């Protein structure tokens, strides 16, 4: 008996391309607001759109929410706080507060800890984050479709998106929407829809990715404040000829003091530039290299760091952490200078209190606004969520409209929550007023955000 070769088999052996037969896609549903991606921006966007009464769908390629915060094992919120003239205070509220309260109720939220004595960050457990985010979105009435990989769009002739095409275990399907919010981190939806974007620093590189990992079995008493000692141990080891992927290791305890997170690896291409998180082959190589580097650094910690002798790797997360890929070129690009000068904008929708944190080759470079002379945060203008050339799309999170430098700051969770909440609310305001996203009354958006607990940073100079 001869087996039939699958259609296209012979062509695939020789040709560079094969033609995929046209097919009709089942429509999975029709929504007022469709959010692609369930990281901090997507969670906040879906929560605010549904909270305003909009029929909202969130699509996520994994089986859980949290984005890099869970899928890449980040386990730490930055940018929730700012150093306001010497007073470190929380400056991102609204949906972020609702999520933090749920993580805390599950026992998964650390107290905020100081960062260089200038601001705070706040660690959390991934399991608690995932469960808290489910609870938040279901409570708001969001439809969630997990294991759904966004794969393309169907456009109308007038530059509006008609449908998002999605791959699922039940097959390929279309989701119709009136408003779309790209929270994919990589600007996937914006790129498919034809919105202009930039990729990395314009010279072929990006902020370098990191494979996070967590250790358990640490002796907290012996470890003490080991995060202060580990950089010195690394320098001593380098003098003996050891090499590390980068300086600026972040090795800190989680809620359970026996468990610590490690942020030190760095994934490069063969030419030394940053690995590209939108390239399938590079991603694949990066996962393997990330795990190799994690094992090597664990070996060093176990041997040399106080209290780490009996530790073991409890988690290497589902994916390498991608800091930067596409950033849309929207109506306004938030710049590094905006961050350092604590810029104000009339269309503020929230604030960023995190400094420039540049993951360059082999190191992390920090640049802060003047502390305590400045208010320590910049406004995030609504225009940075508005892409060019696509009418019913907003882009929030690390792929919003920022320069390479500006993104090194406002990509962290705090600003992503703020942008996401603003995007979900703006979609609602546009639908309510039957206007385009670029034409909404910004003061109506700001009033609604404030009524929902967001902080817009207009009370401090
Ligand atoms: C190693 C590392 C360490 C970091 N450390 C910190 C830190 O300590 N504190 C901090 O606050 N921030 C930190 N950050 C930054 C922060 O985690 C991210 O910038 C932030 O999560 C971005 O949020 P986002 O919602 O824009 O995108 P993401 O968190 O990237 O979320 C995007 C979501 O979209 C999904 N998605 C993407 N494409 C598709 C598609 N085509 N179809 C369906 N789903 C899709 C992804 O699975 C993901 O869930 C770190 C980042 C990295 C990589």
pLDDT: which is higher, 2 or 88: 88
Contact 129, 154 (CB under 8 A): no
Q: Atom 27 of ligand 1 has which residue's CA nearest to it?
A: 185
Q: In 379-410, which positions are buried (b, 16+ CB within 10 angstroms) versus exposed (e)? A: bbbbbbbbbbebbbbbbbbbbbbbbbbbbbbb
Q: What per-residue confidence (pLDDT) applies to 49? A: 99
Q: What is the C-alpha to C-alpha distance for residues 165 and 174, in angstroms, rounded to an integer?
A: 5
Nearest ligand 1 atom to the CA of 399 is: 26
Residue 343 has φ and ψ, to the nearest 5°, of: -60, 150
Q: What per-residue confidence (pLDDT) applies to 98? A: 98
How far, in Å, is the centroid of ligand 1 from the Cα of 62? 12
Cβ of residue 71 lying under 6 Å from some atom of ligand 1: yes
Cβ of residue 155 lying under 6 Å from some atom of ligand 1: no
Give SS3 for 272. coil
**Once rounded to an integer, what is the mean pLDDT over residues 208-225?**
98
Nearest ligand 1 atom to the CA of 263 is: 1
Q: What per-residue confidence (pLDDT) applies to 330? A: 98
In tens, the pLDDT along 349-393 reads 999 999 999 999 999 999 999 999 999 999 999 999 999 999 999
- Strands in 61-160 per DSSP E: 76-77, 81-84, 87-90, 113-115, 119-123, 143-145, 149-155
Q: What per-residue confidence (pLDDT) applies to 14? A: 74
Cβ of residue 37 lying under 6 Å from some atom of ligand 1: yes
Instruction: Indicate the angle between helix axes 442-451 and 413-433, nearest 10 degrees.
Output: 120
Q: How confident is the model at residue 426 (pLDDT cuts 50, 70, 90)?
A: very high
Cβ of residue 182 lying under 6 Å from some atom of ligand 1: no
**Which two structure tokens, joined as six digits, stand for 455?**
């902080």
- The candidate with the shortest Cα–Cα distance to 65, out of 352, 384, 318, 410, is 318
Q: Atom 2 of ligand 1 has which residue's CA nearest to it?
A: 321
C-alpha count within 13 angstroms, C-beta hemisphere, residue 70: 25
Q: How confident is the model at residue 104 (pLDDT cuts 50, 70, 90)?
A: very high
Q: What per-residue confidence (pLDDT) applies to 188? A: 98
pTM (global) more than 0.75: yes
Q: What is the C-alpha to C-alpha distance for residues 99 and 129, in angstroms, rounded to an integer?
A: 8
């Amino acid at each position: 008996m001869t087996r039939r070769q699958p259609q296209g088999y012979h062509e695939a052996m020789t040709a560079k391309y094969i033609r995929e037969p046209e097919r009709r896609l089942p429509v999975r549903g029709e929504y007022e607001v469709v959010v692609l991606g369930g990281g901090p921006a997507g969670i906040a966007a879906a929560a605010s759109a549904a909270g305003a009464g909009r029929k909202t769908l969130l699509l996520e390629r994994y089986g859980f929410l949290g984005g890099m915060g869970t899928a890449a094992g980040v386990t730490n919120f930055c940018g929730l706080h700012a150093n306001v003239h010497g007073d470190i205070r929380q400056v991102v509220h609204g949906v972020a507060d609702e999520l933090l309260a749920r993580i805390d109720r599950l026992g998964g939220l650390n107290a905020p800890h100081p960062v260089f004595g200038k601001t705070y960050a706040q660690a959390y457990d991934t399991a608690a984050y995932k469960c808290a985010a489910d609870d938040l979105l279901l409570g708001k009435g969001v439809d969630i479709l997990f294991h759904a990989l966004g794969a393309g769009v169907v456009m109308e002739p007038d530059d509006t998106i008609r449908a998002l095409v999605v791959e699922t275990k039940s097959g390929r399907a279309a989701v119709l929407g009136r408003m779309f919010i790209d929270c994919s981190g990589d600007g996937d939806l914006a790129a498919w829809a034809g919105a202009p974007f930039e990729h990395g620093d314009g010279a072929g590189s990006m902020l370098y990715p990191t494979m996070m990992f967590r250790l358990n079995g640490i002796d907290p008493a012996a470890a003490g404040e080991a995060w202060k000692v580990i950089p010195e141990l690394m320098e001593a080891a380098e003098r003996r000829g050891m090499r590390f992927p980068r300086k600026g290791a972040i090795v800190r305890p989680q809620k359970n003091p026996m468990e610590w997170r490690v942020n030190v690896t760095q994934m490069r291409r063969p030419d030394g530039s940053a690995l590209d998180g939108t390239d399938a082959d590079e991603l694949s190589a990066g996962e393997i290299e990330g795990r190799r580097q994690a094992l090597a650094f664990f070996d060093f910690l176990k041997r040399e760091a106080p209290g780490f002798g009996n530790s073991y790797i409890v988690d290497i997360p589902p994916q390498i952490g991608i800091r930067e890929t596409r950033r849309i070129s929207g109506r306004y690009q938030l710049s590094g200078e905006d961050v350092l000068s604590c810029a104000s904008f009339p269309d503020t929708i929230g604030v960023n209190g995190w400094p420039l944190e540049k993951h360059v080759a082999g190191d992390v470079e920090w640049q802060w606004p003047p502390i305590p002379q400045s208010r320590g945060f910049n406004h995030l203008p609504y225009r940075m969520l508005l892409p060019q050339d696509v009418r019913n799309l907003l882009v929030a999170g690390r792929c919003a409209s920022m320069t390479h430098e500006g993104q090194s700051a406002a990509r962290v969770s705090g600003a992503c929550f703020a942008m996401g909440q603003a995007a979900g609310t703006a979609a609602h305001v546009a639908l309510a007023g039957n206007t385009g996203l670029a034409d909404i009354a910004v003061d109506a958006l700001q009033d609604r955000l404030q009524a929902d607990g967001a902080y817009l940073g207009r009370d401090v100079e």
